[in-house]
Amino acid sequence: MNNQYYIVIGIIVLAIIAVVAIFVGKKKQKKPLSPLAAFAFAFVLAGIIFVDDRLAGYTLMGIGVILAIIDIIKKEKSKKLE
């Protein structure tokens, strides 16, 4: 039961951060997420949703983190080539 409270608190905090980021980020032109970053975000979010099954939850989060790292490396390499 206690884990559910942590999940709800985490989701509320992420929602507050998203709202603040929207208001602060309007000043700059932001690039949209790359497809790989969107998949990474989706996998991490799915891992949070499936937290009751630890193996599935951690596996999905791990896949999301690996995809995010791959996306970061690809972006850094493309910046160096320019």
Helix (H, G, I), strand (E, B) or coil at 33: coil
Which residues of the chain are modeled with pLDDT < 70?
1-2, 25-30, 82
User: Considering the entire predicted model, what is its pTM?
Assistant: 0.62
67, 40 in Cβ contact below 8 A?
yes
Cβ burial of 13 (10 Å; 0-12, 13-18, 19+) is exposed
Task: Give the pLDDT score at 31.
Answer: 75
Distances (CA, A) of 46 to 19, 60, 62, 65, 77: 21, 7, 11, 12, 28
Task: Give the pLDDT score at 70.
Answer: 93
Task: Give the pLDDT score at 26.
Answer: 63
